[in-house]
């Protein structure tokens, strides 16, 4: 698909999503959620999906959970796009696991997770969101998915994750 100039809307729409990522998720400022998310917001992300006030409450709860697990959580924006009022952000989330995740004791080790967010922006507010955090990477690095072994910083794969060898 070729993107024509008439398809591009306000390039600042992506800045709304980036601001939510940095100020709400990265810094824990929940008031930014109320400022940037529309009252009739629809959340599609698995585990926090919902509509309106329920969805907004789910987003705030997810922020609090992430900040408890990774209190020094930061985001590096890797890539962005914005077409027809829809913004995409690919980011890397990094922090130190200092809180229990699903019963696993804190590892006190660095955690790095890839995240892709898509949001529909209308009049400077997020009205719809789809989030795709790499939950397997998070759970493997904090010890919930021990069968995947320790995280390899370059590939995300360890030798213990290689395909099993067939008996001969």
Q: Does residue 148 lie in a domain region?
A: yes
DSSP classification of residue 22: I
pTM: 0.80
Q: What share of the chain is helix, strand, coil (3-state, %, to 5)?
A: 30, 30, 40
What CATH number is given to the structural domain containing 74?
Answer: 3.10.450.50
User: Is pLDDT of 97 > 50?
Assistant: yes
Q: In what order do the strands lie in the sheet with 74-83?
A: 50-51, 37-43, 125-133, 110-122, 86-96, 74-83
- Least confident segment among 88-92, 103-107, 128-132, 160-164: 160-164
Q: Of 168 and 87, which is predicted with more confidence?
A: 87
Give SS3 for 18. helix
Contacts of 145 (CB under 8 A, 6+ apart): 136, 139
**Owning domain of residue 81:** 13-156
* Residue closest to 140 by CA, chosen among 98, 168, 104: 104
When pLDDT is cut at 50, 70 and 90, the band that residue 6 belongs to is very low
Q: Does residue 166 lie in a domain region?
A: no
Residues in the chain: 168
pLDDT tens-digit profile of 143-159? Answer: 888 756 555 554 454 44
pLDDT tens-digit profile of 41-83? Answer: 999 999 999 999 999 999 999 999 999 999 999 999 999 999 9
Quote the number of domains for the chain: 1
């Amino acid at each position: 698909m070729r993107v024509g100039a008439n398809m591009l809307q306000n390039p600042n729409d992506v800045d709304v999503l980036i601001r939510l990522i940095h100020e709400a998720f990265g810094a824990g400022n929940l008031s930014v959620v109320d400022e940037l998310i529309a009252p009739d917001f629809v959340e599609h992300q698995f585990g926090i999906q919902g509509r309106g006030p329920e969805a907004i409450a789910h987003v705030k709860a997810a922020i609090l959970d992430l900040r408890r697990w990774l209190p020094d959580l930061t985001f590096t924006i890797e890539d962005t796009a914005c077409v027809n009022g829809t913004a995409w952000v690919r980011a890397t989330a990094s922090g130190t696991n200092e809180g229990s995740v699903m019963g696993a004791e804190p590892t006190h080790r660095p955690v790095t997770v890839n995240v892709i967010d898509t949001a529909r922006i209308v009049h400077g507010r997020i009205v719809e969101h789809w989030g795709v955090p790499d939950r397997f990477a998070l759970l493997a690095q904090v010890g919930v998915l021990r069968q995947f072994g320790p995280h390899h910083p370059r590939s995300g794969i360890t030798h213990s994750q290689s395909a099993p060898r067939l008996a001969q």
